[in-house]
Amino acid sequence: MIARGVMLGADQPVILHMLDIPPAAEALNGVKMELVDAAFPLLKGVVATTDAVEACTGVNVAVMVGGFPRKEGMERKDVMSKNVSIYKSQASALELHAAPNCKVLVVANPANTNALILKEFAPSIPAKNITCLTRLDHNRALGQISEKLNVQVSDVKNVIIWGNHSSTQYPDVNHATVMTPSGEKPVRELVKDDAWLNGEFITTVQQRGAAIIKARKLSSALSAASAACDHIRDWVLGTPEGTWVSMGVYSDGSYNAPTGVIYSFPVTCKNGEWTIVQ
């Protein structure tokens, strides 16, 4: 997706830096071979390495997908202790070697906590440049509404994911709308089923990751990758006028969310900067 221009736009050349652990070095090299074989016009180079310093040197965008994988029956807190040491070392490499205004997106779970750990160990990276992925939950909410109303997902907008990328998040449709032939209409008005919106809809979005692990025996891959591309694209290139998206960002106390935690808010983006929708 990145090499095709899905993340940074169809006219932005990219050099991919791919980092993996030493036991996966051979498989990583196979991925590099495939990227070369795909002859992507935008792909100007590939660095495949097991060395964090080499991977982080000069990068403008860092998508942190590495972490101890969550398996069936595990909660995010179960992988937390294993991920502290991983994020400490990767943060140090970014701190010392990334481009000065590097944008960081943490995907690996527990995403909010991992982002906060990364922030603590990479103090020179601006706090506003360290984010975590709640766009996956945002997209899941859009998908549930589009299925319920049998409308195109592109016609649904402005759901909100509040809080943590975990089962404690709060998916909110109170400001969401659907474009209909007669104009934009509130989701609540169209669904006409508050019991579903206040119950099953929320739990489905909260538990969707676990449901996918149960079905696939592996955690979300395609949808997480797609959401990561959406998150970076909107952050770098801007959100459409009148539309907001959900991002896990360093809280400034908006909505009485405690300052100093990574928390998901509705945001708009312009000129590479996000702003919390007040």
Q: Is 165 a catalytic residue?
A: yes
Contact status, residue 261 vs residue 112, Cβ threshold 8 Å: yes
Span 134-276 CATH architecture: Alpha-Beta Complex (3.90)
Q: Supply the DSSP symbol for 134.
A: -
DSSP one-letter code for 248: E
pLDDT in tens, 204-244: 999 999 999 999 998 899 999 999 999 999 999 999 999 99
**C-beta separation of 169 from 134 below 8 A:** yes
Question: Which pLDDT does position 226 carry in this prediction?
Answer: 98
Q: What angle do CA 115, 165, 6 make, to 5 degrees?
A: 75
| pLDDT of amino acid 83 | 82
Q: How far, rounded to the nearest angstrom, does the alpha carbon of residue 222 sit from its chain's CA centroid?
A: 12
For the cut 90, the answer to whether the pLDDT of residue 68 exceeds it is no
Residues at the annotated binding site? 20, 70, 76, 83, 107-109, 140
Compute the average pLDDT of residues 75-104. 87
Q: What is the pLDDT of residues 71-87, one digit of tens each?
A: 777 776 777 777 888 88
Mean pLDDT, to the nearest integer, of 89-112? 94
CA gap 161, 242 in Å, rounded? 17
Query: Worst-scoring range by mean pLDDT, 78-82, 112-116, 149-153, 189-193?
Result: 78-82
Q: What is the pLDDT of residues 145-162, one digit of tens each?
A: 999 999 999 999 999 999
Per-residue pLDDT at 254 exceeds 70: yes
Position with higher pLDDT, 129 vs 110: 129
Binding residues for substrate: 70, 76, 109, 140
Please enumerate, by residue number, every residue annotated as part of a binding site for NAD(+): 20, 83, 107-109
pLDDT category of residue 183 using cuts at 50, 70 and 90? very high
Mean pLDDT, range 32-54, rounded to an integer? 97
**What are the structural domain ranges in the chain?**
2-132, 134-276
Task: Please pick, among 17, 97, 138, 165, the residue that the annotation labels catalytic.
Answer: 165
- DSSP letters of 159-180? -EEEB-SSTT-EEE-TT-EEEE
pLDDT (mean) for 57-72: 87
Whole-number pLDDT of residue 82: 77
State the chain's mean pLDDT as an integer.
Answer: 95
- Using the structure block, give the residue that is written with the tokens 């909100």: 160
Cβ atoms of 43 and 35 within 8 Å: the answer is yes
Of the candidate CATH numbers 3.10.180.10, 2.40.50.140, 3.40.50.2000, 3.40.50.720, the domain formed by 2-132 belongs to 3.40.50.720
pLDDT at 109: 86
pLDDT of residue 76: 66
